Amino acid sequence: MCGIFGIVNDGTSQAAQTVLDGLKKLEYRGYDSWGIAIIPKSGGRIRIEKHVGKIGSAKTTLPDSTIAIGHTRWATHGGVTDINAHPHLDCSGQIAVIHNGIVENYQDLKEELKREKHTFHSETDTEVIAHAIEEELKTGRSINHAVFSVFNTLVGSNAIGVLDLHAGSIVICRNGSPLAIGIGSNSYYLGSDVTAFLKFTRRVYFLADGEAAVLTVNGVKLYDISSQAEKKLVTHTVDWKVEDVQKGGYPHFLLKEIIEQTATIKKTARLNETELKQIAKKIADGGRVVLCGCGTAFYCALAAKYYFSLAGIEAQAYGAYEFLPFAKFADKKTLFIAISQSGETADTLIAAKAAKKNGAHLIAVVNARASTLERLSDTIIAVGAGPEIAVVSTKAFTAQLATLYLLSRAVGGKYKEAQKAMTNLGAVLEKWLTPKNRTAILNLAKKLIDYEDMYLIGKHLNFPAAMEFALKIKETSYIHAEAFASGELKHGVITLIQKGTPCFALFANDETRQEVLSSATELKARGATIIGISPFAAPEFNYHIQTPELGDLTIFGNIIVGQLLGYYLGIGRGTDPDKPRNLAKSVTVK
Ligand code: M6R
């Protein structure tokens, strides 16, 4: 859940500044605190700067250097303090360590190292790595081999970067947490993802689990950690552009990514035809569909379950964190569809591994590339929404849902028809997202800004849509928003309604319309303020945001209203819409 970045041979001699800029691109991975370590160009000890809080417009006072590592933290072990921020030093100050992951056996390692008289300054699991390497170096091993041996003893999913003063190198190792290398012209980079160094190079290598690399002024060498043998490094060029990771004139990535959806939905409809048809055939031949994900990806799974049902296929949907009790039912007939923007979500990986172990065919519906999930999967369906930088997921969600809609239709041989519907959806949404319609949502946000509780109702497809809508409001504005199936209201939760309580009712123009309208009337009778999100107006609504009439695809517009409303409410309440409190973009811990 943290971001790590480093550079060797910085041509500007401003390695600390380069790392600071790179960390700003990785801040979505964690923003409790940040830190940088350098070897000064003028010689002397490793110098470190660490601070609590977001990087924002921070500057660094570190001296000139050509080699540096940096870290942006989402705290797991130890509170949010300067001391707990990475990098962490060994006792001698020879090595500095940055780390993304959790060392599950750190307490045992710490006790052993304390017995060897190592002094610890932080409460983190990371600091044990620095001291363990120092201890290993006492045996006369080279820094590379000391790092590899220590890394082999760590239990858990981890990625580390170790800056060594004497060798002037950075050693990196991966097991379960992402790490990429960038090869520039005479400069070499490491990062939790490529966005950190995309500005310098698109020539990359994604480390696999069990691999390490050593970055020096002479280049990058790749190793197998267990055998410590050198491996051939074969790089490839990523097709992401620098503009993809910039705000492009928008005040926030979140707004940019919401608006981009009209294009990304159309793009995703042109991708993966072969893979989708292959999976559709497996479903038609009796494959059992199990959809799984966390957070927004889980709501995507729930919505997709309705699409599969509309196509005549029974599918199951699980929050990945609740899948294990049901993993025993997975078998060779199971098509386990793991939905994930990052492909690094720990719970989703655990569920996917459990299903695969029982023989399931694993299908990754992912956005980010070269992830752990992608490596595990039998079929990769990359939805191609491009880098999603805002922590709050928007365009990855709609691209994933569009892809699963295509899959559901492909089973009945309606792929081309569905592809046309998706292209049309993108075009209709583009026409609808006018400044006038966005202003209507902004004006609604102004009316709702002081409320602390909101409720949402929806039925069938609009039930998961309401859940996703509510999550966008919660994440971006910190307002309590809770979605109910409209059928559930009378069974208890209607007690929550008081005079003026804002209640959103999400509709499609289908057979559920009348029932949801009746529920809205019942809410109104108890004093609720009804906000209709629908293609049609109704006398029950106190406020109405009109969304495009798109049949089964109407939920796309309805959800985008939630994304924009959450954004405007967040702005109005002074939150940072790109980096909501307590969150990180990829949740790589259980
Ligand atoms: O990378 P993933 O799609 O696997 O992430 C899953 C969730 O952590 C993610 O969707 C989260 O709920 C977002 N904050 C939603 O906006």
Q: Please write the tens of the pLDDT for every residue from 369-397.
A: 888 899 899 999 999 999 899 999 999 99
Rounded to two decimals, what is the model's pTM?
A: 0.87
pLDDT number for residue 313: 97
Q: How far apart are CA 416 and CA 424, in angstroms?
A: 12
pLDDT number for residue 146: 97
Q: How far apart are CA 441 and CA 436, in angstroms?
A: 9
> Which residue's CA is the nearest one to ligand 1's atom 12?
295
Q: Convert the pLDDT of each residue in 13-47 to its tens digit.
A: 999 999 999 999 888 888 889 999 999 999 999 99
Residue 424 CA from chain centroid, whole number: 28
Tell whether omega for the bond before 87 is within 30 degrees of 0, i.e. cis.
Answer: yes
Average pLDDT, rounded, for the chain: 95
Query: Which has the closest alpha carbon to 292: 363, 384, 391, 397?
Result: 363
C-alpha 203 to ligand 1 mean position (Å): 28
Q: Convert the pLDDT of each residue in 462-498 to its tens digit.
A: 999 999 999 999 999 999 999 999 999 989 899 999 9
> 3-state secondary structure string, 515-575?
HHHHHHHHHHHCCCEEEEEECCCCCCCCEEEECCCCHHHHHHHHHHHHHHHHHHHHHHCCC
- At which residue do the structure tokens 């039930």 appear? 463
Q: Which amino acid is at 539?
A: P
C-alpha 13 to ligand 1 mean position (Å): 37
Q: Which residue has the higher pLDDT, 558 or 490?
A: 558
Question: Which of 337, 373, 477, 587 is the best mutation target for the ligand 1 pocket, counting ligand atoms within 8 Å of the beta carbon and taking the most?
Answer: 587
User: Which residues, in sequence order, are CB contacts of 122 under 8 Å at separation 6+?
Assistant: 78, 83, 84, 88
Q: Is the pLDDT of residue 177 over 90?
A: no
Question: Which of 257, 345, 471 is the best mutation target for the ligand 1 pocket, counting ligand atoms within 8 Å of the beta carbon and taking the most?
Answer: 345
C-alpha 295 to ligand 1 mean position (Å): 5
Q: Which atom of ligand 1 is nearest to the CA of 393?
A: 16
* Cα-based angle 210, 211, 215 (whole degrees, multiple of 5): 150
C-alpha 133 to ligand 1 mean position (Å): 35
Q: Considering the chain, what percentage of its residues have pLDDT values greater than 90?
A: 87
C-alpha 394 to ligand 1 mean position (Å): 10
Asked if 399 and 386 touch (Cβ cutoff 8 Å), the reply is no
The residues annotated as belonging to the active site are: 2, 585
What is the rounded end-to-end Cα distance, in angstroms, of the chain? 11
pLDDT number for residue 180: 94
- Written as six digits, the tokens of 371 are 């992830």
Q: Considering the chain, what percentage of its residues have pLDDT values greater than 70?
A: 100
Q: Convert the pLDDT of each residue in 6-20 to its tens digit.
A: 999 999 999 999 999
SS3 363: strand
Q: Which CATH class is domain 247-433?
A: alpha beta
Q: Which atom of ligand 1 is nearest to the CA of 396?
A: 3
Q: How far apart are CA 459 and CA 444, in angstroms?
A: 23
pLDDT confidence band for 1 (50 / 70 / 90): confident
User: Which residues, in sequence order, are CB contacts of 313 under 8 Å at separation 6+?
Assistant: 283, 289, 408, 411
- Written as six digits, the tokens of 213 are 């690399």
Q: Is the pLDDT of residue 240 over 80?
A: no
Which H or E element spans position 72?
A: strand 65-73
C-alpha 395 to ligand 1 mean position (Å): 12
Q: Is the pLDDT of residue 244 over 90?
A: no
> Which residue's CA is the nearest one to ligand 1's atom 14?
392
Question: Which of 1, 299, 341, 559 is the best mutation target for the ligand 1 pocket, counting ligand atoms within 8 Å of the beta carbon and taking the most?
Answer: 341
Residue 302: CB atoms within 10 Å: 20
> Which residue's CA is the nearest one to ligand 1's atom 11?
295
pLDDT confidence band for 75 (50 / 70 / 90): confident
> Of 222-226, 245-249, 504-508, which gets the smallest average pLDDT?
245-249
SS3 261: helix
pLDDT confidence band for 210 (50 / 70 / 90): very high
> Which residue's CA is the nearest one to ligand 1's atom 4?
340
CATH 3.40.50.10490 residue window(s) in the chain: 247-433, 434-578
CATH code, residues 3-237: 3.60.20.10
Query: Candidates 3.30.70.1290, 1.10.10.200, 3.40.50.10490, 3.40.50.261; correct CATH number of 434-578?
Result: 3.40.50.10490
pLDDT number for residue 242: 77
pLDDT number for residue 370: 80
SS3 content of the chain, % helix, strand, coil (to 5): 40, 25, 35
CATH 3.60.20.10 residue window(s) in the chain: 3-237
Ligand 1-lining residues (CB < 6 angstroms): 294-297, 340-342, 345, 348, 391-393, 475, 583, 586-587
Residue 581 CA from chain centroid, whole number: 15
